[in-house]
Amino acid sequence: MPANLTDLQKKQIEQAEELLFEGPDKEGFAKDLYFGRFRTDSILPYPELKPGTKAAGDSMVAKTKEFCEKNIDAETIDRDAIIPDEVIEGLGRLGVLGMTIGKEHGGIGMGQFNYCRVMEIIGGHCGSTTVFVNAHHSIGLRALDLFGTEDQKDRWMVPLAKGEKIAAFALTEPLAGSDAGNVRTRAEPTDDGKGYVINGEKRWITNGGIADVLTVMARTPDRSTPDGKITAFLVTPDMEGFEVLQARMDKVGIRGTATGEMKFTDMYVPKENVLGEVGKGLKLALTVLDFGRTTFGAGCTGAAKFCIERMVARANSRAQFGKTLGEFELVRGKIAEAAADMYAMESATYHTASLIDSGAEDYMVETAMIKIFASDQLWRIVNDCLQIWGGKGFFNDQPFERMMRDARLNLIGEGANDVLRCFIASVGFRHLGKELKGDNSGFVKTWTHRASVMSESFVAPKIPVKHEHMRFFSRALSKQIGQFSWQMKLALAKHQEGILDRQYVQARLGDIATELFMASCVYSRMTSLLVNGTIPEPDKEQEFKTGRLYLRLAQMRNEKRFDALKFNLDEEMEAVADVWLKDTFDKNWVNKPEGEIDP
């Protein structure tokens, strides 16, 4: 580790290495992009469900759609700020709340692919219900399913999977949000070694104030570090010292979800309630979030599809200046871009869900990319939908005001998008730096190895062309992958360890990588589409044109990002930020407790 790093940077690097990169390096499609490689066997062919699995999923999708239309009133849920018990009970009876849990533990045993199909339906119907299900199943139950002992599963899983009890995942604190490693809740072992005493607070926890079982993150003592390490505990609200400060915090959107704030005061938890390994809680949390981010993508896809349907309906029925709105280019452009980006988020979501179902070991970067892209594009799509609806869309008898409020959470929840952008780039810098370093087996061999790694970017990767219509896109995608890898290596060579503080650079490279992954998923899906002789030609034409537009949009967006790496206003932005942050405002607010800052 370079000697000129600050103590904080060294600590952050050590923590990241322990959490994200322990054990042998795992291969993956996204990670290969950093080296200018296109891992064909990880992306082609585009995944399809087996007939029996698809039929079961089709049935579940149909049942979920019918249930949502008959029983979930998104407007009432938002207005009353509560999801009715009968909705939760109905989702439980339907099997949604334990969909991927094994039948032996009360679930219905479906895979992530079909689960995402169901979450897409719910996402297109109600934002609050989507987040509730995601918090309960994708991160609440998933932690117990992946890391729980058989005794723990036998004790808690069946009523949770059936929706008779509710799960929550309690990580966030006043000082720990996107900086998950800053957890301050502590769990001290008792003198008799039979358990732990937990003290601390958790807030902004979905389902936290109403949950029957919570996965709580707390620091336990560890000889290797004064702060200790984070451990996961299974906690129930009947434990002495468990206090709900607020069960339903008021918020901008997803108002129907119960977002809670809890406090633990000398709360005793038996050692049998440790989830996973002592000191490995943060690794557990990051693993679980991979599942949540995938279903985030599905929920956003469903909401985007709803918006596109409403955009088309309005464009075909509303007339102005002697024409329908659908005859105006600026309206048509909004609909086309929305459809193209929805197609990309759907393609990447189901590709990654299939990776999970296949037993792949690493999809951490892919899920971060899905979460960023899907939430960013949905935010724009909802805004464009309201714009097409004009004045009528601005009033509360239409769903778009609620959808805008709901969609805004997606850019923050389960990892703020700007943090994830930098994370994506940082993973690449870590892997490139390790590869460029070589094995220190001699000067000549080391530099020969480095030259080989650098030169990979000079040769664009070979991307298979299964249909002549894809040849242009193969070349364009290949060229940008090589260009991206070269820019990653240049940034690392130029800034070295200083790249840790170059967030403008990190964010651009993270966005380029994200768009390349999304484009690769679309490329794979379109290739499978074109060689499939069973799809009706009108459907094939619509899908091909939509996917083709996305690939061109992705190419143009990345060209702008590549240009911004060379020509930008970063220094001017920093200078102005200095003036406003240091010289303009009274600084007395800096030391005020949160909540007491003057507007």
Output the 3-class SS for 418-486: HHHHHHHHHHHHHHHHHHHHCCCCCHHHHHHHHHHHHHHHHCCCCCCCCCHHHHHHHHHHHHHHHHHHH
Cβ neighbours, 10 Å, residue 226:
7
CA atoms within 13 A on the CB side of 127: 30
The span from the CA of 25 to the CA of 39, in Å, is 16
pLDDT of residue 65: 98
The 10 Å CB-count burial string (b at 16+, else e) for 536-547 is eeeebeebbebb
The span from the CA of 506 to the CA of 429, in Å, is 9
Peptide bond into 461 cis (omega under 30): no
Same fold yes or no, 7-44+419-567 and 51-166:
no
From first to last of its 599 residues, what are the pLDDT tens digits of the chain?
455 556 555 555 555 555 555 555 677 899 999 999 999 999 999 999 999 999 999 999 999 999 999 999 999 999 999 999 999 999 999 999 999 999 999 999 999 999 999 999 999 999 999 999 999 999 999 999 999 999 999 999 999 999 999 999 999 998 776 676 788 999 999 999 999 999 999 999 999 999 999 999 999 999 988 889 999 999 999 999 999 999 999 999 999 999 999 999 999 999 999 999 999 998 999 899 999 999 999 999 999 999 999 999 999 999 999 999 999 999 999 999 999 999 999 999 999 999 999 998 889 999 999 999 999 999 999 999 999 999 999 999 999 999 999 999 999 988 899 999 999 999 999 989 887 776 554 444 444 555 555 666 667 899 999 999 999 999 999 999 999 999 999 999 999 889 989 999 999 999 999 999 999 999 999 999 999 988 899 999 999 999 999 999 999 999 999 999 999 999 999 999 999 988 655 555 555 555 554 44
The span from the CA of 335 to the CA of 305, in Å, is 11
The strand pairing partners of 186, in sequence order, are 199, 219
In terms of CATH architecture, what is 51-166?
Answer: Orthogonal Bundle (1.10)
What class does CATH assign to 284-415? mainly alpha
- E strand segments, 336-421: none
pLDDT of residue 312: 98
Cβ neighbours, 10 Å, residue 426:
19
Q: Based on the residue annotation, tell me whether 86 is a catalytic residue of this protein.
A: no
From residue 25, alpha-carbon distances to 234, 496, 568, 571 in Å are 30, 22, 35, 36
Residue type, 231: T
Question: Which residues 6+ apart lie within 8 Å of 337 measured at CB?
Answer: 384, 549, 553
168-278 CATH pick, 2.40.110.10, 2.102.10.10, 3.40.50.10680, 3.40.50.1970? 2.40.110.10
The strand pairing partners of 189, in sequence order, are 196
Topology of domain 7-44+419-567 in CATH is: Butyryl-CoA Dehydrogenase, subunit A; domain 3 (1.20.140)
3-state helix, strand, coil in the chain (%, to 5): 65, 10, 25
CA nearest 257: which of 67, 75, 78?
Answer: 78
3-class DSSP assignment, residue 541: helix
The span from the CA of 358 to the CA of 190, in Å, is 42
Phi, psi for 205 (deg, rounded to 5): -95, 115
The span from the CA of 45 to the CA of 528, in Å, is 7
The active-site residue, picked from 173, 346, 366, 414, is 414
The span from the CA of 417 to the CA of 410, in Å, is 9
pLDDT of residue 175: 76
Tokens of 583: 């010289």
From residue 553, alpha-carbon distances to 277, 338, 344, 518 in Å are 45, 11, 11, 11
Residue type, 409: L
pLDDT of residue 582: 82
Cβ neighbours, 10 Å, residue 474:
19
DSSP 82: S
Cβ neighbours, 10 Å, residue 63:
15
Tokens of 33: 């992009």
Domain ranges of the chain: 7-44+419-567, 51-166, 168-278, 284-415
